Amino acid sequence: MSTKMMVWAALLTALAIVIPMTFANIGLVIILGPFTATLASHVPVMISMLLTPGFAFVVGLGSALGFLLILGQVVAARAAMHAVVAATGSILITQGMTFRKALLVTLPLHALLESLVVLPFGYNLYQAVVVVGLGTALHHGIDMLIAVWVAKVISPLLPENL
């Protein structure tokens, strides 16, 4: 574990916490019942897939903390699923999958997990599957495009073993 890798994990975790807090305060959040979308909130989590599965998991937990502080426990529970999605994507990348393909493969997992996690909060299947699930898939897709662009821009700065 290199110092550079740890610094990247810390920076991405900080961004995963700050993005929801900042964007919610300036009105860059869409809220439709149990579904919320904060532009670019998945980007640090997605970029963390290029680190290690452990670091990716931690960045995902940072995302949950950011959402808990600003939007409450339902959104934080959904964001906690980012830890599983990021670690899964990172494992796929360590096994030779490209970043883009890992992002595509984790899209349905992301949507499914966020759909399931809202059910204990009293949301019905329509709200969970259609509103949250499809909304998450769309949001993942948009943030995926941003993450691929960001990864391309910052690739010279990333640790060499990636």
107-141 per-position pLDDT tens digit: 999 999 999 999 999 999 999 999 999 999 999 99
| Residue 159: band (very low, low, confident or very high) from pLDDT cuts 50, 70, 90 | low
Which of 12-16, 27-31, 36-40, 133-137 has the least mean pLDDT?
27-31
Return the CATH number of the domain spanning residue range 3-155. Answer: 1.10.1760.20
**Pick from 9, 94, 95, 110: which is nearest to 55 by CA?**
9
Question: Sign (positive/negative) of CA torsion 4, 9, 39, 162?
Answer: positive
52-61 pLDDT, tens digit each: 999 999 999 9
Q: What is the pTM of this model?
A: 0.94
Question: What is the C-alpha separation between 45 and 71, in angstroms, rounded?
Answer: 18
Query: What pLDDT is stored for residue 58 in this prediction?
Result: 97
98 CB neighbour count, 10 Å cutoff = 11
Q: Which two tokens stand for residue 36?
A: 């919320």
44-101 pLDDT, tens digit each: 999 999 999 999 999 999 999 999 999 999 999 999 999 999 999 999 999 999 999 9
Which of 10-19, 33-42, 60-69 has the least mean pLDDT?
33-42
